[in-house]
């Protein structure tokens, strides 16, 4: 084939992926609407809408002309890095889609709506009779889906690869084992500290209408463009969309201002990634985020490394005091910083501190492996969860909401996703370490200058989308492969100061 | 073919239309989101989303298996009325879709988003430079669309038939001529009245947070199920969705409580129709509303015949007084009723009273015929509009917002739609007249018992969807074909009382 034919074929592919991208973004919007706006009785229709739409996307993804082009195009021709990545992702998407029956795709989409709707209702009423059968079907369909696509891999790895390309459970197991050991070590030092923290000092009334403007101020200062975004309320905070329409949600706890504030910073970290992608390449196969782990590195860095840092509050604490004279007029800045970094074993992952957070993830990784590989049934999940939790955290949940039904992921059919949260934390620490060597981060934070930080992230990470695999991106940005060391150094240094150990 | 083969074919068709229905309902949701939620910079992406989606729907609508079934199935077999209607609508949809190129469908969808977004911005800034070229393209594409589908018909009739099946401009012209003459006669009597109304008495501050609960009370009492709906704010009020998810919007005018209240009642009239359709038949080709005119009959009946009636306010006026002691403690009930029925020639259609409203429609009907048939260009539209308006209303708009750019319809590419508003008014009066013979309407209204009215409408009209053509439905419900007489009697009687003439 001549070079021109190659280029024409590439462009024909991209034309098709342009439509697929826009149809996919409609599915995202339907899910946003479901969580944020949809009236209660809209669920049945939403399930059918998403089933029909996912079937259409599946048909587009498996269109024979795509297969024909991918079979003849020369992957080793003189492509740019971006084009090479587009072809790589196109081939991966096509190979994956052609292995899955359309009806299974539609059924999974349908069940995702029905089961998550039932999950919301069940958590409210604490009656789970309608929920369990749907939850079981959801897991069963996911097992079938994994079998369809796994080839030589185990089910878990087939699903994990959807969220964290190239990652495997064999790779994660020793990494997580070491991480768990180290985190337990830090946790022991904290629990033995002669200088404990008492977060009860932060508990008071924080009216939502006073929380919201403060959160808005912070996320706008981070550089979140709200003319291309929105902030709403939902049961489970999330970020969705891309390009000119990137929306985040939060939830307000009237006795705890940190939940909405750090939640907003977290979701804005995701939003800045989406807003920082190369707009022209958005509809291309490699135009989106590099992985969910890289995505999470952005949200966790803003939430924790920045949002729970001392210099950040040098600038923002006076404003917070102005908004909430009680209790902050009576709390010194350094004590405030210690309080927002309080470490404690707790039941709920999303409320966990930086030290215990990854222990929640590692436990979920182990539980979902059992679920996927038929070693654990949904019937036995609550008991198994409680047993594992007792082992890891030394306490037993007293309700399903506090235990295995706390997260939306599994009811939504999302198994193999949790490890990306731990990987995100590790990537965040490693990126942040490099950033502090290239930018006067603490000085910027103490002046409330957050835009240079966003720019650094945009330049080093966001603009590339998925041109590079996550591991390769990490090496490009930090010069080294991913390791747990930056995270451990960060935690030891920070919490040594908070809890006065070394 | 055996009967079983016929039934199998019918069911295969319905399976396909089930998916088409759900994809179409996604397009509706995207439009709702665009008007109510979408951030400003989301327009370009929304245009591509809708273009991609409409292309998919078009491909589904023109799928060869549909054509094959429609070519062989026996339309005269022993079908139920509903099945007959499904086949009739399936054939109409298929014949229409196969005449239109997919690219034109996508382009019209894209332009609709871009032009309406530009319309909103232009009205705010009163700078129309970006808007005119988009508006021109919108009209041009609609002309092409009409040419593609019209066959022997004129362009106008081809488009009109999309909204009011079976209606023609040849039929409307004498109807509208007579209606105009009669309305002018009523208007003259009102203008000559020795007992005028002065709506300035209603002008005061009505805070939005006090308007909203009152409107919500009324629309819930009408029987609008808000667990299957929502009430939001948008620039142009509308109702969208069907079945378990029917949403309405309104806008609040802080000096005029009638705008939001009657707007809410109007949109709830539409919503009750959608919520009253037979849920099981919703995805079928004839499962939706009979026509836009019938739809509008529901909204206008609730807004005007009920909402602006004396007995309705017997029940609700005490509540309104409680919510707004000023000004209503100083306005007697019968005077209040006269004030909300104030008649005046005004620039804005959506704010027009019952007498002048149809004059706005008739003028639009004439203008859009000119636009479609190449007799009038967009460049000449403002001047032509003002000239016609001066003729009909005796005043000339001083801005585009007050004139030809006041409605969203034409910028959205919707030409041939306006007559359905006038037809809706006529159907409303005729239905209402029958209803008052079968139900003690005034007595119910005076006790705030609105549900029996909703039930009558549901039983007589809503449940049938599009099983019957609008004209046939009218005959079934009222025993007579549509006529302007019930409307004229209603107006003469009511306004004779308001303005003291006979």
Domain boundary among B152, B182, B207: B152
Q: B426 with B487: CB under 8 angstroms?
A: yes
Q: Are A248 and A268 in contact (CB under 8 A)?
A: yes
Chain B environment of A22 (Cβ under 8 Å) = 45, 48-49, 51-53
Q: Does B7 touch chain A (CB under 8 A)?
A: no
What does each C-alpha distance from A266 to A249, A298, A365, B63 come to in angstroms? 10, 8, 22, 46
Same domain (yes/no): A147, A176 = no
Question: Residues A33, A36, A42, A48: is their CA dihedral positive or negative?
Answer: positive
Least Cα separation, residue A139 to chain B (angstroms): 25
Q: Does a structural domain hold residue B162?
A: no
* Residues B185, B51 share a domain: no
Radius of gyration of chain A (CA): 23
CA-based angle A308:A314:A316, to the nearest 5? 75
Compute CA distances A297 → A263, A289, A420, whole Å: 14, 11, 9
Mean pLDDT of B317-331: 96
Crossing angle for the helix pair B310-323 and B208-221, to the nearest 10 degrees: 140
Same domain, A240 and A132: no
Whole-complex ipTM: 0.96
pLDDT value of position B235 = 87
The answer to whether the Cβ–Cβ distance between A22 and B229 falls below 8 Å is no
**Residue A2 reports pLDDT greater than 80:** no
Smallest Cβ–Cβ distance between A229 and the set B39, B225, B243 belongs to B39
- Claim to verify: residue A199 and residue A116 sit in the same structural domain: no
B209 close contact with A: CB closer than 8 A:
no
A/B interface, count of CB pairs below 8 Å:
101
CA B456, B457, B462, B468 torsion-angle sign: positive
Q: What is the pLDDT of residues A56-68, one digit of tens each?
A: 999 999 999 999 9
Q: Are residues A380 and A293 in the same domain?
A: yes
Q: Span B478-485, mean pLDDT?
A: 98
Distance CA A294, CA A297 (A): 5
Are residues B284 and B232 part of one domain? Answer: yes
Please answer yes or no on whether A40 and B243 come within 8 Å at the CB atom. Answer: no
pLDDT of residue B31: 97
Note the pLDDT tens digit of each residue in B138-170. Answer: 999 999 999 999 999 999 999 999 999 999 999
Q: Is the pLDDT of residue A18 over 90?
A: yes
Q: d(Cα A288, Cα A277) in Å, to the nearest integer?
A: 7
Average pLDDT of chain A, as a whole number? 97
Q: What is the pLDDT of residue B1?
A: 59
Between chains, do B228 and A41 touch, taking CB under 8 Å as contact?
A: yes
Rounded mean pLDDT, B316-330:
96
pLDDT for residue A235 is more than 90: no
Query: How far apart are alpha carbons B57 and B22 in whole angstroms?
Result: 10
Is B468 inside any structural domain? yes
CB atoms within 10 A of CB A381: 22
Task: Give the closest residue to B120 by CA, choosing from B320, B412, B351.
Answer: B412
The answer to whether residue A502 scores a pLDDT higher than 90 is no
B384 vs chain A: nearest CA distance in angstroms?
37
Name every residue whose Cβ is closer than 8 Å to that of residue A354 and which is 6 or more positions away in sequence.
A304, A308, A341, A343, A425, A491, A494
Residue-wise over B464-478: b if at least 16 C-beta within 10 A, else e? bbbbbbbbebbeebb
Domain membership flag for residue B167: no
A225 touches chain B (CB under 8 A): yes
Label residues A221-245 b or e (16+ Cβ within 10 Å = b). Answer: bbbbebebbbbeebebbbbbbbbbb
Cα A304 from Cα B272, distance rounded (Å): 49
pLDDT of residue B2 exceeding 80: no
Query: What predicted TM-score, i.e. pTM, was given to this entire model?
Result: 0.96
| Share above pLDDT 70 across residues of chain A, in percent, rounded to a whole number | 100
List the single residue in B22, B53, B244 with the smallest CB-CB distance to A41: B244
Q: Is B234 on the interface with A (CB under 8 A)?
A: no
Q: What is the mean pLDDT of residues B196-208?
A: 95
8 Å CB contact between B142 and B445: no
SS3 B246: strand
Give the percent of chain A with pLDDT over 90: 99
Residues A116, A209 within the same domain: no
Average pLDDT, chain B: 97
CA dist B186 and A220 (Å) reads 58
- B56 and A55 within 8 Å at the Cβ level: the answer is no
Q: Give the sign of the dihedral formed by CA A269, CA A271, CA A275, CA A280.
A: positive
- Domain boundary pick from B152, B187, B222: B152
Specify whether B122 is located in the same domain as B187: no
Question: Does the distance separating the beta carbons of A244 and B41 come in below 8 Å?
Answer: yes
Residue partners of A56: CB distance under 8 A and separation at least 6: A23, B23, B56
Number of domains comprising chain B: 2
Residues B472 and B332 both lie in one domain = yes
Does residue B87 lie in a domain region? yes
Is the residue at B229 inside a domain?
Answer: yes
Instruction: Burial-class residue A48 by CB neighbours within 10 Å (0-12, 13-18, 19+).
Output: buried
Best B20, B28, B29, B30 member to test A by mutation, with max A CBs in 10 Å, is B29
A37: region left, alpha or beta (phi > 0 left; psi from -120 to 50 alpha):
alpha
Chain A residues close to B18, C-beta within 8 Å: 48
Residue B418 lies in domain: 172-499
- What is the C-alpha to C-alpha distance for residues B461 and A34, in angstroms, rounded to an integer? 31
Determine the pLDDT at residue B483. 97
For B104-111, what is the mean pLDDT? 98
**pLDDT (0 to 100) of residue B384:** 98
Which of B25, B39, B55 is facing A49, going by the closest CB pair? Answer: B25
How far is the C-alpha of A387 from the C-alpha of A380, rounded, in Å? 11
Tell me the CATH number at B478: 1.10.1370.30
Would you say residue A1 has pLDDT above 90? Answer: no
Strand ranges of the sheet holding B239-242, from the earlier edge strand across to the other edge: B229-233, B245-250, B239-242
A46: its two tokens? 């939403």
Do A419 and A492 lie in one domain? The reply is yes
| A418 against B236, higher pLDDT | A418
**Cβ neighbours of B372 (radius 10 Å):** 23
- Is the per-residue pLDDT at A397 higher than 90? yes
pLDDT tens for each residue of B8-61: 999 999 999 999 999 999 999 999 999 999 999 999 999 999 999 999 999 999
Chain centre distance of CA B88:
24
Distance CA B39, CA B62 (A): 34
Average pLDDT for residues B419-448, to the nearest whole number?
A: 98
Q: What is the three-class DSSP state of A156?
A: helix
Residue B165 in domain: no
From the CB of residue A405, how many other CB atoms can be counted at a distance below 10 Å? Answer: 22
Assigned domain for A166 exists: no
For range B259-277, the mean pLDDT = 98
Whether residue B184 sits in one domain with residue B77: no
Q: Is B55's Cβ below 8 Å from some Cβ in A? A: yes
C-alpha distance from A49 to closest chain B C-alpha (Å): 5
Report which DSSP code applies to B253. B
Residue of A nearest to B55 (CA): A19
Condensed to tens digits (0 to 9), the pLDDT of residues B230-252 reads 999 998 899 999 999 999 999 99
In a domain, B157, yes or no: no
- In the predicted model, what is the mean pLDDT of residues A302-324? 98
Do A100 and A227 reside in the same domain of the chain? Answer: no
What is the pLDDT at residue B502?
Answer: 78
Q: Are B311 and B436 in contact (CB under 8 A)?
A: no
- From B96, B121, B152, give the residue that closes a domain: B152
């Amino acid at each position: 084939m001549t070079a021109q034919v190659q280029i024409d074929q590439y462009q024909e592919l991209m034309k098709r992926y342009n439509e697929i991208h826009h149809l996919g973004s409609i599915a995202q919007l339907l899910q946003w609407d479901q969580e944020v706006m949809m009236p209660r009785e809209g669920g049945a229709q939403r399930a059918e809408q998403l089933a029909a739409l996912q079937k259409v996307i599946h048909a587009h993804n498996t269109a024979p002309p795509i297969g024909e082009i991918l079979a003849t195009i020369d992957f080793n021709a003189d492509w740019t890095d971006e084009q090479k990545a587009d072809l790589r992702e196109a081939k991966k998407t096509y190979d994956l889609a052609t292995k899955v029956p359309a009806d299974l795709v539609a059924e999974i989409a349908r069940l995702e709506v029905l089961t998550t709707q039932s999950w919301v209702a069940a958590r409210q009423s604490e009656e789970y009779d309608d929920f369990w059968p749907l939850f079981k079907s959801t897991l069963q369909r996911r097992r079938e889906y994994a079998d369809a696509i796994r080839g030589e891999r185990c089910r878990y790895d087939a699903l994990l690869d959807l969220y964290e390309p190239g990652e495997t459970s064999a790779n994660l197991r020793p990494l997580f084992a070491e991480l768990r050991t180290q985190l337990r070590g830090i946790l022991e030092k904290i629990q033995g500290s002669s200088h404990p923290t008492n977060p009860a000092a932060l508990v008071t009334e924080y009216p939502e209408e006073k929380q919201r403007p403060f959160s808005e101020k912070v996320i706008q200062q981070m550089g979140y463009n709200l003319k291309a975004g929105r902030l709403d309320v939902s049961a489970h905070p999330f970020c969705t969309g891309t390009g000119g329409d990137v929306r985040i949600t939060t939830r307000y706890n009237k006795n705890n201002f940190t939940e909405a504030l750090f939640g907003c910073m977290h979701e804005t970290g995701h939003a800045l990634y989406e807003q920082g992608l190369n707009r022209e390449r958005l509809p291309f196969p490699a135009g989106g985020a590099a992985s969910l782990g890289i995505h999470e590195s952005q949200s966790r860095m803003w939430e924790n490394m920045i949002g729970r840092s001392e210099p950040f509050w040098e600038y923002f604490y006076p404003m917070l005091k102005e908004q909430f004279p009680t209790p902050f007029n009576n709390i010194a800045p350094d004590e405030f910083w210690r309080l927002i970094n309080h470490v404690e074993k707790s039941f709920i992952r999303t409320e966990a501190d930086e030290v215990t957070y990854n222990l929640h993830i590692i436990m979920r990784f182990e539980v979902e492996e059992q679920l996927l590989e038929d070693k654990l049934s949904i019937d036995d999940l609550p008991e198994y969860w409680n047993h594992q939790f007792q082992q890891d955290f030394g306490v037993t949940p007293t309700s399903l909401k506090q235990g295995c039904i706390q997260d939306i992921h599994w009811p939504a059919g999302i198994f193999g996703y949790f490890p990306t949260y731990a990987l995100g934390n590790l990537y965040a620490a490693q990126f942040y370490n490099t950033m502090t060597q290239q930018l006067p981060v603490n000085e910027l934070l103490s002046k409330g200058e957050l835009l240079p930080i966003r720019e650094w992230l945009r330049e080093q990470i966001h603009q590339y989308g998925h041109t590079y695999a996550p591991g390769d991106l990490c090496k490009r940005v930090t010069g080294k492969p991913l390791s747990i060391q930056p995270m451990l150094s960060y935690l030891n240094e920070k919490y040594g100061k908070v809890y006065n150990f070394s």
